[in-house]
Amino acid sequence: MSDSTPLGDFLRARREALKPQDVGLPEHGRRRVPGLRREEVAVLAGVSSDYYMRLEQGRETGPSPQVIDAIAAALQLDDEAHDHLRRLTRATQERRSVPAGHDRVSPQLLQLIDSWPDTPAFILSPALDVLAYNALAAVLHSGFQRFDNLARMAFLDPAGRTFYQDWDRAANSCAAELRAAYGYTPDSPRITEVVDTLRAKSPEFAELRSRIGRGAPVHMVREEFGRALSEI
List pLDDT tens digits, range 117-161.
Answer: 889 999 999 999 999 999 899 999 999 999 999 999 999 999 999
Which residue, 58, 61, 76, 64, is CA-closest to 8? 58
**pLDDT on residue 171:** 93
- pLDDT at position 179, please? 84
pLDDT digits (tens, 9 = 90+) for 167-183: 999 999 999 889 888 76
DSSP 111: H
Indicate whether 108 and 45 sit together in one domain.
no
Residue type for position 18? L
CB crowding 189-201: b at 16 or more within 10 Å, else e: ebbeebbebbbee
Note the pLDDT of residue 155.
97
Instruction: Provide mean pLDDT across the span 183-197.
Output: 84
Check: CB of residue 85 under 8 Å from CB of residue 77. Answer: yes
Q: How far apart are CA 45 and CA 94, in angstroms?
A: 24
Same domain as 223, residue 130: yes
Q: According to the model, what pLDDT value does residue 81 have?
A: 86
One domain, residues 107 and 132: yes
Same domain, 164 and 59: no
Distance CA 43, CA 74 (A): 9
Reply yes or no on whether the pLDDT at 203 is more than 90.
yes
Distance, C-alpha 17 to centroid of its chain: 26
| CATH number of the domain encompassing residue 27 | 1.10.260.40
Q: Which residues have a Cβ under 8 Å from the Cβ of 55 and sit 6 or more positions away? A: 7, 8, 11, 63, 71
Q: Which one of 62, 97, 132 terminates a domain?
A: 97
Q: How many residues does this entry show for the chain?
A: 232
pTM for this entry: 0.52
Task: Compute the distance between CA of residue 183 and CA of residue 125 in angstroms, rounded to an integer.
Answer: 14
Domain count, the chain: 2
121 and 214 part of one domain: yes
- Domain final residue pick, 41, 63, 97: 97
80 and 113 inside one domain? no
Q: What is the pLDDT of residues 7-66, one digit of tens each?
A: 888 898 898 888 887 888 776 666 677 788 899 899 999 988 888 988 888 777 678 888
Query: In terms of residue numbers, what domain contains 14?
Result: 1-97
Last residue within a domain, chosen from 97, 126, 144? 97
What is the predicted pLDDT for the residue at 180? 81
Greater confidence, 102 or 132? 132
